[in-house]
Structure 1
Amino acid sequence: MFQKIKPPEGGKFIEVKDGKLIVPDNPIVPHIDGDGIGPEVITAARRMVDAAVEAAYGGKRKIVWWKIYAGIEAEPIYGTLLPEDTLNAIRTAKVALKGPMTTPIGSGWRSVNVALRQLLDLYANIRPVKYIRGIPAPHKYADKVDIVIFRENTEDVYAGIEWKYDSPEAEKVREFLKKEFNIELRPDTGIGLKPISRFATRRIMNKAMEWALKYGRKRVTVMHKGNIMKYTEGYFKIWAFEFAKEKYGDKVVFEEELQGGEIPEGKILVNDRIADNMFNQIITRPWDYEIIVTPNLNGDYLSDAAAALVGGLGVAPGANVGDYIGMFEPIHGSAPKYAGKNVANPTAATLSAAMMLDHIGWHEAANLLRKAIEETIASGKVTQDIARHLGIQPLSTTEFTEEVIKNIKKLGGSS
């Protein structure tokens, strides 16, 4: 199955049985270090995860890490940025921890990040945004931000259907539009298509509803620009509501049914917001939003904006999840100018790894990891990206990691 890698000894693969993940006490977990600061933050995250698993389970459980390759690191080994070995490893292992990778703008290869999500059908991009004590957040209500964004991961602009303005394909599309629909575009127009399907909309809504039920969330909001793009984003809203009523009818209530009243006990409120208003709302009334479901591009914008409210991308985790497979990664970029300097903040990568632990059902270790990170940051022990706003001496990536591990050991298995 694998050409240039082989699974490590001493571990077992996670399996799927009767629609559920069957997780051994020693699961093999692949990791892609990524580009730029990726190797530093992923190494730090793995150290903290190992410490949390050890403390939470007293040595009865252990992750067996498996290095695999994608991006710049993969090219000299495989002659490609995304080898089949990597895809097969993640399909087999069911989970992976991934560092940030560089994506060129305007030219060069298409995003390896996007390719991984599409080829593995990781259709739900899940981005929790929650304030951490001690972060110098710019927002007045930062401590009230606790939002999980579910961004559809396979359609909209991520479908990648576009043609350069001077290509023969673009010319054909312009001619077709003029001939068939009397739509005339300027001859120097680049063209992209924005597909949004009922199928993809329903399954991202299902992921959001499952999360709401699992973690006791009371509000699920569908964000869209359906007042303008009526047959794409408009139907994203229509299909999402349709699905919620069809599958979760006894568990949901819609905004128009409340008439200004409280959400009934045991119910989840399903509502919607126009995209531009959604940005206004998360700034002025963040406490009104718990889960937000979006098409692809909206979710990209919104998750970065929400992360800014609580202090920035350095503390923002992310996950890309399909029916069973999950790939967990920070949402920040590869920051090449900081690579190799031991100054990068590993918090986002580590919180992404905590999401991975939740995904496999190791909630005790995940909670311990989150508590230790918050305790460390709240005590003023932070990396340079946070320290410069506080006017204090920063810790290196390694020093911060050591401080988190100390707090993991101090907190023990009390999570």
Structure 2
Amino acid sequence: MVYQHIRLPAGGEKIGIRDGKLHVPREPVIGYAEGDGIGPDIMRACLRVWDAAVAKAYGRSRRIHWCELFLGEKAAALYGNAFPDEAVDALKDLVVSIKGPLTTPVGGGMRSINVALRQTLDLYACVRPVRHFPGVPSPLLRPEAVDVVIFRENTEDVYAGIEYSAGSPEAFQLEQFLKQTLKADFREGSALGVKPVSEFGSKRLIRKAIRYALEHRRRSVTLVHKGNIMKFTEGAFRNWGYELARTEFPEQTLSEEDLINLHAGKPPEGKIVIKDRIADIMFQQMLLRPKEFDVIATLNLNGDYLSDAVAAEVGGVGIAPGGNIGDFIAVFEATHGSAPKYAGQDKANPGSLLFSGAMLLEYLGWHEAAETVKNAYGAVVGRKIVTYDFARQMEGAKEVRTSEFADALIAVMA
């Protein structure tokens, strides 16, 4: 493929798909986009750390060849478009990529690039692992009890973008249809949005969550929904989840009801429990009884709130990783904003992007390198060597710059 601004590295081999599986060469080409604001600062630091982790884990037998892609402000300067087709083509071509934070205007302006990426590439699962690292400041008394992986549906629900501003011709037309044809009752002149939730979209997300739980020997998958109120959208998500587990994973799963009634609350060896919780109750239970939850599958808006709230329990979104994953194509990302007021100051916490890179390494099957990143992080933070955001919350901390934090991680790996 010929690109206008993207330059493929001279070495390396593209990741392929063979026999329905990802084929990862020993020297894969991986795409990266720096992002906006603090993106370049944290990306520079993380690229060094990931390379050091791969070298530590595998010596010279494996290596990543990084290929810069352009999204956001950097793309706008090059292409006159913050979301250029060339970047989308490259993300498809390279299969696995990672990006820094991208600025999203509130209440107007360009469409969110993050949402556009997920929908354009059909990256239907936003995967957010949340766990605590010793030494990281937390508001909880026992943050080590939090260890969940959240699967958030990416393409439907209110994020489908089907909404019409109050007073617009489209809103008026939809209002007339709802009132006159369907006899709906709501205030005239309302802004209107549509919340699509499909059986196909729900089941493929829940299927991916169950497979993850089985592959990683997790204990349960919890379907989080507001089906007590939105019975035909969120309630259907819940029902489709149970149906999928019964029909596609009958030997590997059992419902919470069967667990209690047939097994006295003790799951048989090798089986995972499928259960569900109302969304608002789930927020409470993740504070009071986090050990009861393992893998979570939920719709888009619930997942948006829940993943950030749970991340706050273990140190905040500044260290929360995330990946947007389809059947094969995956784009990992920093889950926080671009923090433009700190751009270029070499002071931001690179943790979120760093751990998203660890997720990328795991996606490649390079688990040893991923563990090297995590172990180094735990060792450095355990010595109270941290960036400014953690330093102001920790007594006796040594505050370092972003680049110096990367230096400390790499030194631990040596």
The TM tier, using the shorter chain, reads: over 0.9
Check conservation: 1:174, 1:184, Cα contact below 8 A: no
Letter in 1 for 2:104: T
Residue matched to 1:131: 132
- Does residue 1:279 correspond to 2:280, yes or no? no
* Paired amino acid for 1:305: A
CA distance in 2, matches of 1:326, 1:181: 41
Q: Does 1:323 align with 2:324?
A: no
- Contact 1:383/1:394 (CA < 8 Å) preserved in 2? yes
**Correspondence for 2:310 among 303, 306, 312:** 306
Q: Is the 8 A contact 2:384 2:398 kept in 1?
A: no
Other structure's SS at 1:203 match: helix
Structure 1's consecutive aligned runs of 4 or more residues displaced over 3 angstroms after TM superposition are: none
Aligned to 2:5: 4
Aligned to 1:217: 218
Corresponding residue number in structure 1 for 2:84: 83
Distance 2:46 2:331 in 1: 14
Which of 361, 369, 373 is the equivalent residue of 1:365? Answer: 369
Q: Is the 8 A contact 1:165 1:187 kept in 2?
A: no
Alpha-carbon distance between aligned partners in 1 of 2:189 and 2:46, rounded to the nearest angstrom: 47
Give the alignment's TM-score, normalised by structure 1. Answer: 0.97
Q: Which amino acid aligns with 2:83?
A: L
Alignment of 1:173-212 (within 5 A): 173-212=174-213
Q: Which runs of 5+ in 2 are unaligned?
A: none
Tell me the equivalent position of 2:337. Answer: 333
Cross-structure match for 1:164:
165
Structure 1 counterpart of 2:412: 407
Q: What code does the residue aligned with 2:268 have?
A: P
Alignment-mate amino acid for residue 277 of structure 1:
I
Alignment partner, residue 354 of structure 1: 358
| Higher mean displacement: 239-248 or 226-235 | 239-248
CA contact (8 A) 1:141 1:286 kept: no
1:183 Cα deviation (Å)?
2.1
| Aligned mates of 1:325, 1:85 — CA distance in 2 | 16
Please give the alpha-carbon distance, in whole angstroms, between the structure 2 residues aligned to 1:200 and 1:362: 29
| Alignment partner of 1:74 is 2:75 | yes
Q: Distance between the aligned counterparts of 1:407 and 1:179, measured in 2?
A: 68
Q: Distance in 1 between matches of 2:312 and 2:185?
A: 40
Aligned to 2:402: 397
- C-alpha separation in 2, matches of 1:253 and 1:265: 11
Stretches of structure 1 lacking an aligned partner (at least 5 in a row): 410-415
Report the residue type matching 1:11 in the other structure.
G
SS of residue matched to 1:389? coil
The alpha-carbon deviation at position 186 of structure 1 amounts to 2.5
CA deviation map 1:88-146 (0-9, x unaligned): 11111110010011111111011000001111110000000000010111112201100
Specify the alignment match of 1:291 in structure 2: 295
Paired residues of 2:34 and 2:100 also in contact (CA < 8 A): yes
Contact 1:124 / 1:320 at 8 angstroms: preserved in 2?
yes
**Which residues of 2 match residues 29-108 of structure 1 at below 5 A?**
29-108=30-109
C-alpha displacement of 1:269 = 0.5
The amino acid that maps onto 2:401 is S
Per-residue deviation, 1:185 = 3.2
What is the deviation of 1:16? 0.2
TM-score under structure 2 normalisation?
Answer: 0.97
Give 1:172 deviation, angstroms: 0.5
